[in-house]
Structure 1
Amino acid sequence: MFGLSELAVILIVVIAVLAAKRLPDLVRSAGKSARILKAEARAMKEQEDKAPQAPAAPRIIQGETLRPSATGSERTGHTGDTPPEGRPGH
């Protein structure tokens, strides 16, 4: 009988014959879609290249409360009047 590849070729020929009137429109539509997709991908890449890299947004873990991060003297406990413990003076 027929193998899988022969059946596939016959199926493609039957579809082409039955859909001959609509086939050019389908191919044209597929070409337009491909061009639009390419243009959008190119625009997104250009936009990404032009935009400055924004810092990553902080992750919020469920159950945690937001509080400001400690910086400078808050982190070390140093107010500037006296040297912090364990460190020699200025």
Structure 2
Amino acid sequence: MTVQFPSAAQALAEEIGTLRKWLDEDALPLWWEAGSARPNGGFYERLGQDAKPVFSDDRRARVQPRQAYCFAAAGQHGWQGPWKEALLHGLSWFE
């Protein structure tokens, strides 16, 4: 009896595909829909287990460019969601 294991490249490609699907279909849409602080701009610090914003009086400045960068990078990598709108939304918070 011979046991065949997928090559490391095959296993990695499958994991990358799974991660990409999760980002494209779950994480990025969730952060845009639930994580964006509308209409004031920027993003919430965090979401609770119920996917609702955990409100705080403070929003750290480093969170905003990090979220904007994530959406810009997603657009660069081919995400078909509203990456440009999300990017501009995050950057507008600084103005």
Give 1 or 2 for the bigger CA radius of gyration: 1
Structure scoring higher RCO (CA < 8 A, sep ≥ 6) equals 2
What TM-score does the superposition give when structure 2 sets the normalisation length?
A: 0.30
What TM-score does the superposition give when structure 1 sets the normalisation length?
A: 0.32
